[in-house]
């Protein structure tokens, strides 16, 4: 069984997807981390993020690798562990720019389908139910109010020692959702057969239970 979890920025997809995968004994694949890794490398290389060929070449010539580490996931760019470097607002913003390029998405699609080929994966992103795994057995579209999503991001960033304000994060999330929804290739969209789950006001545990229940009914 494959499970696709899509939704806007900060809806709690990765936290929830990781826990659902652990409960089911499935492999968790964070596709956002792959775009973030590429964005981080493009920033490091001082590339023009709008230069589609340059960014696509960078991806072609290097290797992104996701490794399971207990309950969480590590992200490697070639041999470098960049897990702790890819969650900043600058990388979030850059990720959504590099993710708008068709040449980049085509390569990511291949990589992501290879990762899911053996089945029993929980994959989260923006286009999993619509493009990467259109035949997924369970499709969830996870969302929450913009204020709640910004509050969660603020807690996450503060815990990691970064500083930001709620207003800044709301603006960043809104801009990113707009870019992700309006891009031409594989925009953020709820698949016709996806189940909408609004997590506003619900704890992580409640949402995980709800998703496991949906999976049980589909299995």
Binding annotation for ATP: 7-15
Query: Which of 111/128 has CB closer to ligand C5P?
Result: 128
- Is residue 180 involved in binding ligand C5P (CB under 6 A)? yes
Minimal CA–CA distance to 122: which of 7, 30, 11? 30
Q: Using the rule CB under 6 A, which residue among 5, 9, 66, 169 binds ligand C5P?
A: 9
- Give, as one character, the DSSP assignment of residue 61: T
Determine the interface stretch with ligand C5P among 17-25, 54-62, 93-101, 133-141 (rule: CB under 6 A): 93-101
- Is residue 127 involved in binding ligand C5P (CB under 6 A)? yes
Determine the interface stretch with ligand C5P among 124-132, 136-144, 167-175, 196-204 (rule: CB under 6 A): 124-132
Q: Which of residues 46-85 bind ligand C5P (CB under 6 A)?
A: none
- Would you say 77 and 41 are in contact if contact means Cβ atoms under 8 Å apart? yes
Minimal CA–CA distance to 126: which of 139, 115, 137, 145? 139
Please state, in angstroms and rounded to a whole number, the distance separating the CA atoms of residues 50 and 59. 14
- Going by the annotation, the residues of the binding site are 7-15
For 20, counting Cβ atoms within 10 Å of its Cβ (0-12 exposed, 13-18 middle, 19+ buried), the class is buried
Query: Which of 152/176 has CB closer to ligand C5P?
Result: 176
- Is residue 176 involved in binding ligand C5P (CB under 6 A)? yes
Helices (H), ranges, 142-203: 146-159, 166-182
- Give, as one character, the DSSP assignment of residue 86: S
Residue 210 Cβ, how far from ligand C5P at the closest point, in Å? Answer: 20
Determine the interface stretch with ligand C5P among 28-36, 68-76, 194-202, 203-211 (rule: CB under 6 A): 28-36
Give the number of other Cβ atoms within 10 Å of residue 119's Cβ: 10
138 DSSP β-pair partners: 3
Give the pair of three-digit tokens for residue 51.
């230069």
Query: Which of 24/101 has CB closer to ligand C5P?
Result: 101
Give the pair of three-digit tokens for residue 152.
């969660």
Query: Which of 108/208 has CB closer to ligand C5P?
Result: 108
Question: Which residues of this chain interact with ligand C5P, rule CB under 6 A?
Answer: 9, 31-32, 35-36, 92, 95-96, 99, 125-128, 176, 180
């Amino acid at each position: 069984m494959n499970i696709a979890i899509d939704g806007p920025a900060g809806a709690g997809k990765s936290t929830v997807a990781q826990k659902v995968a652990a409960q089911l004994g499935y492999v968790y694949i964070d596709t956002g981390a792959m775009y973030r890794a590429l964005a981080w490398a493009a920033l490091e290389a001082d590339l023009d993020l709008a230069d589609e060929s340059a960014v696509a070449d960078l991806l072609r010539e290097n290797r992104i690798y996701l490794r399971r580490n207990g309950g969480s996931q590590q992200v490697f760019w070639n041999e470098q562990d960049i897990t702790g470097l890819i969650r900043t607002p600058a990388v979030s913003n850059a990720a959504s720019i590099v993710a708008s390029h068709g040449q980049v998405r085509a390569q990511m699609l291949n990589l992501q389908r290879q990762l899911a080929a053996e089945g029993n994966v929980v994959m989260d992103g923006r286009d999993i139910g619509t493009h990467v795994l259109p035949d997924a057995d369970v499709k969830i579209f996870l969302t929450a109010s913009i204020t709640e999503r910004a509050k969660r991001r603020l807690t996450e960033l503060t815990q990691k020692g970064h500083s930001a304000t709620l207003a800044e994060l709301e603006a960043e999330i809104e801009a990113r959702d707009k870019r992700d929804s309006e891009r031409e290739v594989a925009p953020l969209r709820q698949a016709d057969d996806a189940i909408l789950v609004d997590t506003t006001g619900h704890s992580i545990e409640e949402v995980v239970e709800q998703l496991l229940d949906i999976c049980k009914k589909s299995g």
